[in-house]
Amino acid sequence: MRNARASLYNRVHHWIDAVGFRLNTSQTNNKSMVTTNHYFFETFNLVEKEKKGDHKTSKFLCFDTYGEKINVKSLLDLQVAFFENLSQLK
């Protein structure tokens, strides 16, 4: 599972770089050593949390068009939520 998570990190970051997401904020909780990165594109928000700078511990969360949380377990989860969000823009 740990290899799959590292692989997910690489796939997600490659894809968000290709699409043109921007890093909005990055915060590190020094006590728990958790870094939270907030990325956005138009009206779509993506949150990444990782512990101690280890990409294997990265977890991704995004929001659908109705503001519901979606845990990203694959790149396809992220892409579906992203394109549904864009399709709602007029």
Q: Please state the pTM of the whole predicted model.
A: 0.85
Tell me the residue type at 59: K
| Tokens representing residue 26 in the block | 């990055």
Q: What share of the chain is helix, strand, coil (3-state, %, to 5)?
A: 40, 35, 25
Q: Could you give phi then psi for residue 7, rounded to 5 degrees?
A: -65, -40
pLDDT on residue 67: 80
> How does pLDDT run across 21-66, given as a tens digit for each residue?
999 999 999 999 999 999 999 889 999 999 988 888 899 999 877 7
DSSP string, 17-58: HHHT-EEEEEEEETTTTEEEEEEEETTEEEEEEEETT-GGG-
Residue for token digits 């915060």? 27
